[in-house]
Structure formats: structure tokens, C-alpha cells
């Protein structure tokens, strides 16, 4: 685990220097992905800004975020924290939208993530910091469980090649609080304690298995078949997030 952490930290530091930036900015949700990402950024020795951005946030999530931010500032002198309560901004935007958009549950959940992305870039650009993504491999390249141009809008992704199991293991190794590593994963976009498993219908270990599955489906249990179907459905419907933006290439004969 030490070698893995050092590799990611070196990669972050090298990228930051090459980009001629002073450091990194990370949105802190109270979950393990943002906790691990921010810890790895802090270990680079470069400026690391932690931003809490509550929008009707569940108190448990906010408490975990605050405790993690306090731990990192106590441990690393290069870490600073900011809290930007976006609840009023979110409500102002929602009240300005057409009714059908303002009451659309998924649209409004994704709007929260997009407001947070805008906030990170506003503060990050002001402080010459890169926005560090917090998505893991299953979310980013398996089921596409993130908001396009929300938490998917980042400058670099230090943990996107780690499965959730690897994220948990590395976070524990680096001393991230057990309150965070033991908490049920949630995207924090619903103003309640709705978990990722509630939304996906499968746990991260199950989805990791499905992502790697190459065997004979006739040998699978009913639950394994169900999980495989869940994985394949999300993977298919979210390809628009995981593939480059399509560009309409104009034939030369039409340019005359």
C-alpha cells in the first residue's frame, strides 16, 4: 500500500508541476473517495484546498466532512479549508427554472453536482489549483455513476483506476477515519441518506465482480445474473459519459 500511495502522490505532484499550478482543490463530501483523494493531494506537499459545499446536506455527511477536513489541516501544513453553503444558490436557481425542470428529481440532484463543480473551478482558478476528481474505477468506467459536467468535470483523476475495494483499503492504510471508511457510500445529492446501493441495486463489490466477469453465465446464481444485468444496463446507458464527446466531422467536399 505504501508503494501505491507513493505512486499516486508522485503522479499528482508531477502533473501539478508540469501544469504550472500551485496545487489542488478537492470537494469534500464526507465519503471515502473524496477523503482518500484529498489525503493523497495533501501528501504531495503542494497547496491543497478542501471545500465543503452543502446543499440541504444530511447532517451525518456534513459532520464526516468537517471531521476529515479538521484531521487533514491538523496533519498537513499545506492544507486549507473553505465552506461554501450553496443551499440558497440552489434554491434561487431552482425557483428560476421552468416548473417541469424544478420538480424533476434527478435533474435537480445533478444540478447540485454541477453547482459544486462551478464553485470548485471558481475557487480553484483564483488560487491556481487543479480540480482533483474523486471518482473511482467502478463509477467512472463501469457504471458511469456520476454527474456529467458535475463531479465528472475535473482536471485530473488520481483514483479513477482504483476499484472501490482498493479505495477502502488505501484510505484505511493512510489513516482516514473509520467513521468515513465504514460509512455506506452515498453521492449526497438527495438531501437524505440515500445510498449508492439503493440507487444502483448492487453493492460495489458485486459491481466489481461484474466488471471483471468473463465466465460462463450458465454457471451463475440468480443473484449473480441479476447483478450482471444491472452492471450491463448502467454501462450501456451511461456510455455517453464515458466516451469522448462526439464530433460531427465534415467531409471536405462539403466545405467548398
Per the domain annotation, does 182 fall within a domain?
yes
Tell me how many domains the chain contains: 1
Per the domain annotation, does 248 fall within a domain?
no
pLDDT of residue 192: 66
Q: What secondary structure does DSSP assign to 97-160, as a single string?
A: S-HHHHT-HHHHHHHHHHHHHHHHHHHHHHTTEEEB----HIIIIII--S-TTTTT--SB-TTT
pTM for this entry: 0.94
pLDDT of residue 5: 98
Q: For 35-90, how does the pLDDT look when each residue is reduced to its tens digit (9 = 90+)? A: 999 999 999 999 999 999 999 998 999 999 999 999 999 999 999 999 999 999 99
pLDDT of residue 193: 73
d(CA 65, CA 31): 7
Per the domain annotation, does 125 fall within a domain?
yes
Full domain range(s) for residue 42: 2-192
Partners of residue 50 on adjacent β-strands: 26, 81
Per the domain annotation, does 218 fall within a domain?
no
pLDDT of residue 165: 97
Q: For 37-51, how does the pLDDT look when each residue is reduced to its tens digit (9 = 90+)? A: 999 999 999 999 999
Per the domain annotation, does 199 fall within a domain?
no
Per the domain annotation, does 228 fall within a domain?
no
Partners of residue 23 on adjacent β-strands: 47, 129
Per the domain annotation, does 215 fall within a domain?
no
Per the domain annotation, does 30 fall within a domain?
yes
Residues of the chain falling short of pLDDT 70: 191-192
pLDDT of residue 36: 98
d(CA 134, CA 37): 6
Please report, for the domain that includes residue 135, its CATH number. Answer: 3.40.50.620
Amino acid at each position: 500500500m505504501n508503494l501505491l500511495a507513493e505512486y499516486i502522490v508522485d503522479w499528482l505532484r508531477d502533473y501539478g508541476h508540469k501544469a504550472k499550478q500551485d496545487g489542488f482543490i478537492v470537494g469534500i463530501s464526507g465519503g471515502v473517495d473524496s477523503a482518500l483523494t484529498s489525503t493523497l493531494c495533501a501528501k504531495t506537499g503542494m497547496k491543497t484546498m478542501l471545500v465543503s459545499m452543502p446543499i440541504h446536506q444530511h447532517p451525518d455527511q456534513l459532520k464526516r466532512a468537517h471531521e476529515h477536513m479538521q484531521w487533514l489541516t491538523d496533519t498537513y501544513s499545506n492544507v486549507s479549508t473553505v465552506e461554501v453553503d450553496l443551499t440558497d444558490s440552489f434554491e434561487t436557481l431552482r425557483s428560476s427554472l421552468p416548473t417541469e425542470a424544478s420538480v424533476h428529481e434527478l435533474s435537480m440532484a445533478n444540478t447540485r453536482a454541477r453547482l459544486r463543480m462551478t464553485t470548485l473551478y471558481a475557487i480553484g482558478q483564483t488560487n491556481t489549483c487543479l480540480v482533483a476528481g474523486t471518482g473511482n474505477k467502478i463509477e467512472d468506467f463501469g457504471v458511469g455513476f456520476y454527474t456529467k459536467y458535475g463531479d465528472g468535470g475535473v482536471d485530473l483523476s488520481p483514483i479513477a483506476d482504483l476499484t472501490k475495494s482498493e479505495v477502502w483499503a488505501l484510505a484505511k492504510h493512510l489513516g482516514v477515519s473509520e467513521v468515513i471508511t465504514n460509512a455506506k457510500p452515498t453521492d449526497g445529492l438527495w438531501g437524505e441518506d440515500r445510498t449508492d446501493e439503493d440507487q444502483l441495486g448492487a453493492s460495489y463489490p458485486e459491481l466489481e465482480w461484474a466488471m471483471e466477469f468473463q465466465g460462463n453465465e450458465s454457471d451463475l446464481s440468480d443473484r449473480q445474473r441479476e447483478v450482471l444485468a444491472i452492471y450491463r444496463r448502467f454501462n450501456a446507458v451511461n456510455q455517453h459519459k464515458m466516451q469522448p464527446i462526439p464530433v460531427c466531422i465534415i467531409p471536405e467536399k462539403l466545405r467548398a
